[in-house]
Structure 1
Amino acid sequence: MTTWDKALTDLLKNQGLDDKKQLEKAFETLLKREEPNQLIRLLGNPTVDELKQLCKSNRVKGYSNLKKDEIVKLFEKSIVTKTYFNTEIEKMDEDQKRLFLQTLNFNVVGEPVESDVTFPKSYLIFETERDTQGKHLLWIPQEIIERVEKWVKQHKELMQLKQQQDLIEAATNLYGLYSFSQLQHLCNQYLEKHYSLLDIRKQLNRLGRLMPETINFRVGDGFITSVGLEIEPNEYAYFLKDAKYYEPDTLQELLYYQTHVFGIDEPTYFNFVSWLAKNIREDNPFNVTGEQLSVEILTMMKHAVEYEMVIDVIYSLIQDGILRKRVEQTAQNKVKPVYMKMRNWVYHGYTFEEYMALKEQEERHKQTNVIDFNQYKK
């Protein structure tokens, strides 16, 4: 952890949820102000004269008396218009369009995408830092990201591709382990278009080929698994046998799980993480941080068959000197509500309570359809 990160962590430690969000937003704004113009860097840090020549060759007017940053802003606003966006997108094949969308998703949070796919030369997306294997980092200039997000929403084909990719990511976070036929059902239901099982397989294989490091799923023989799944492969068949899947009412509700990996609302998540941060020993033998431990525990909770498994892990963390002793008194009130809300991978998106209620309902239904001939015997 850097000095800056530690200072920020200490500052946020004792703040309420609303205060934390305001502080984080203020720091984000401050950092953005200090960032150099990304388009200048992606253009290779051209001189003022080179920028003016670039404007001239692209028929941009009004740059003569402007400073360097001002020329770049004029250039990108004059060139990267909605019409330009649509024209450049039409030059891309399906692989490039899908990868462009994935790059946008990652660039929004400041992360590049590594790829060996090349793009038609434009001012929409740049390829930098090629390595010995021919791969490079993909960047959409930070200065145009907001506009690109808006234009994507207005582009019918891109939105169809985006919804497909977002749906797969959300379904993987929700189910952890699910069949091709379940994904086919979701696509047909939520995207209002017919998909065959062959379509599903082709789509999964394409995304796996294009984005091996950034997708959240792995493809097996007729099934899909989350990269975070900790169940042994030889147990997949057992959990898929007679599988039942929780299905949100709308696509919007399903896509909630794209960003909410653990299936819990933000206040619940931040309260849990805050509680954990206050109870982790700074001198713990594994040097694990609160953020690292929270991800491990929440992922484990998605696998847990029952709450007793979760609490056993919590107690073992106390015994190993990672969590403080006082956790024994507070864990029941802090951990169990999270587990009972969480959509569980073992139960394919149901919470433990929901799944048990479903099984009980099915059992009652079976019994009502059984005729007991013994009651008719005299």
Structure 2
Amino acid sequence: MSGYPKNLERRLENRKKDKAFRALGEENNVIDFSSNDYLGFSSSEKIFDAAEEILNDHNLRKNGATGSRLLSGNHKLYAVAEDYLKNFHNTEAALIFNSGYDANIGLFSSVPQRGDFVFYDELVHASIRDGIKMSNAKSYSFRHNDLEDLKKKISRLKMANSDVFVVTESVFSMDGDIPDLKSLANYASENNFFLIVDEAHATGVFGQKGEDMVQELGLEEEVFARIVTFGKGMGCHGAAILGSDMLKDYLINFSRSFIFTTALPPHAVATILSAYQNLAIIGLQNLQRLKSNIEYFKDQLKTQGLDSRFIASDSAIQCCIIPGNTEVKSAAENLQKNGFSVKPILSPTVPKGKERLRFCLHSFNSEEEIQKVLKSLSEII
């Protein structure tokens, strides 16, 4: 075989032309303002060592799961971890998936049925959109964090005998902002709609013990399903769908991304369990430092006259709008030269004219680092 499909070549050339071409980077020693490791758990030796102890305690010295969970891969740590998750997150049941992407694909492709309706915030994650596309339900987006627009969209449709699913995120990954979940939950409950909340960027970061945003607001009973992921605040890998026992049974039987994949190896599940157990030990202290850093960052934005360039956010994600792929990439490269890792978010990931620098704050960032990176940004823009 020779050559390359013309359509693929054309699409790559268009990416380069639009200055949106992506390439894998290398690890460096610059100060981290880009990773999702909000609590510093990914490098915690305590969590690493505790995961090994869990494996030894359960006599699980295996490198792989050997198969899907419905065949040979449902090792004993799954039951332990899922039991811990359901108690921690105050829900009937938890089902672990290999990643947040797998969880969203599995949930949205299998749960909404033909004749059902899905209404989703226009800025939800790509994994949610992809899952919805794979379902047989009709789907409509509503304006970002706009409950009135959602109500208008729903009122125009005849939905007798149909189930209606309303989908949002508790912290949006590209803006860092937070919807009015209480109003959304009340509206869904009043109309017998099913509310689904992706908690990816809230897990470990919000809540009294780092549970998530739904628990911080006391809305567990009003939400049909939550997706919690472990690759961000929890510093490891995987995800879980939280909901009723019936939902868990349904997903085990009909979610293709759960059924047709090799299960996570014992060490990955042990690390999830270890990270959750250590939330009470090191997590609360780290969470307090993170919250303090978020407030300090926002204060520094005002001090350095940058607040008008940033999207309003109370989360660990803070975004500076710099329109144009070329311009935002240049700003990121200059910050990199000054010793800071801040990633540019390009179109088409975000709409044209809304390109931005995405600052991710962590418990381990110092006030001096925050002050310096914003001073550097101020000089660049």
Q: What's the TM-score, normalizing by structure 1?
A: 0.28
Q: What's the TM-score, normalizing by structure 2?
A: 0.27
Higher share of residues assigned strand:
2
Structure with the larger RCO, 1 or 2 (CA within 8 Å, 6+ apart): 2
